[in-house]
Structure 1
Amino acid sequence: MDKELIVSWMEAGMIQVPNLLLRKYKEIGLDEKDLTLLLHICTFIESGNGFPTPEQLAERMTVGSDECSGMLRKLVQMQLLSIEEGISEDEIHFEKYSLSPLWLRLADELKFEKKQDDLKNTMHEESDLYTVFEQEFGRPLSPMECENLAMWLDDDGQDPIIIKAALREAVMSGKLSFRYIDRILFNWKRNGVRTLEQARMQGIQFRQKIRQPSQSSTESISKTIPFYNWLEP
């Protein structure tokens, strides 16, 4: 291959297309022609022409200049493309295209996508929470118990992982009841417990306090309370 041809090809530059744009262009109301037009605008901007005419854009596409003008108007109306004013060093006013509205829209789509993923994860964790409780209690939960679980999640804002830790603490203590679990969650919230590690430390401190014998029965107590690792699945 001719070396000069390779040099010309490299000097012509390249354009990077965000994967998010390729994944989301349909969802934000664009079709393949709109996408191609936006990519051509990008290349013009990068080459120093911030405001290419419909004719210049149409030369690179399979549409006429009139259709290209209509597509540009549509993109502006959809608030995916804007026309801004600038001032050169010679104080000459000029217009240029800006793709900032497109990037902001894609950022909103990404934010919405993350919220949807978080919601799905939360729903899965809450569903799993009910299952874990029914397994530990060995029976379906009553309507009142389901309401207690919902209250811990919605009203108290408890993390499902922390609720499971409180359940396991109740199992270890041999006091498997919603009332006892509620007391654990209340004390943890009051003490600022927000993570499994903090819950584990609270449990250790609580069991150490239980282990401390009274002065009158120091010699008669030799049994220790087993340790339960909440970090294990």
Structure 2
Amino acid sequence: MHDMDFLESFVKAGETSISNLLLHHYHEYGLTTGQLVVYLQLKSDMDRGIAMPDIAAVAKRLGTSSDKVYGQIQQMMSKGIMRQEVRTDTNGKEEAYYDFSPLLSRMSATDLKQVPNDNNDQEQTSREKLYGTIESEFGRPLSPMEMETVADWLDKDQYAPDMIILALKEAVMNGKLRLKYVDSILLNWQQNNLKTPADVTAEKKRFNEQRSNSTKWHSAGESKPANEQIPIFKLSGNKQQRHSK
């Protein structure tokens, strides 16, 4: 009986289809992973005749907040991937709806032959490995919005994968298993022009030496030299904030 109930629920739920062209090349069309997931959620409702899906319900299904879903929608609108329109229904009433025809226009206008497949495959593999590394360190899978945050590090902030992994290790060492903390480390490094792992290593060494000298001066009852610079490398005490993604 349980199997029959499941089968009935499965059939009633329906299906949401997606073109493999979009699924395999959504990055080339300007979509991030998080935006693709939001698009699929909206499409699943729109395919069932819901012109304006309930964003709170979409957020609940994704395990995130309505503000973040709205943020993804606004980003897709600003990219020209979707738009909100108004139409008149059969009763003469106006209703708003989401229109993804701009996405189809973009897909038809994009010449995928001009995109090197090998580079795309390598980039996707590197991205997937990065997701896997973070999930392994955190001991849990990433949510769609967390995947979007990582994608933004790569696509918008242009952080190198090796720097992200290094920041991840620093966060784990400090017992902070949160992307927000990793983000604060990356921002700290960016603001201090630390662009490579070698830069970070050199700055950590400089900071540790400076702290060691400070301890020696304190033990000897001496004051610090007047020209000593305040250390900028202090990850465990980093309280800097950045705009949420």
- TM-score between the two structures when normalised by the length of structure 1: 0.46
Determine which structure has greater relative contact order: mean sequence separation of CA pairs < 8 Å that are 6+ residues apart, divided by chain length. Answer: 2
Structure number with greater Rg is: 1
- TM-score between the two structures when normalised by the length of structure 2: 0.44
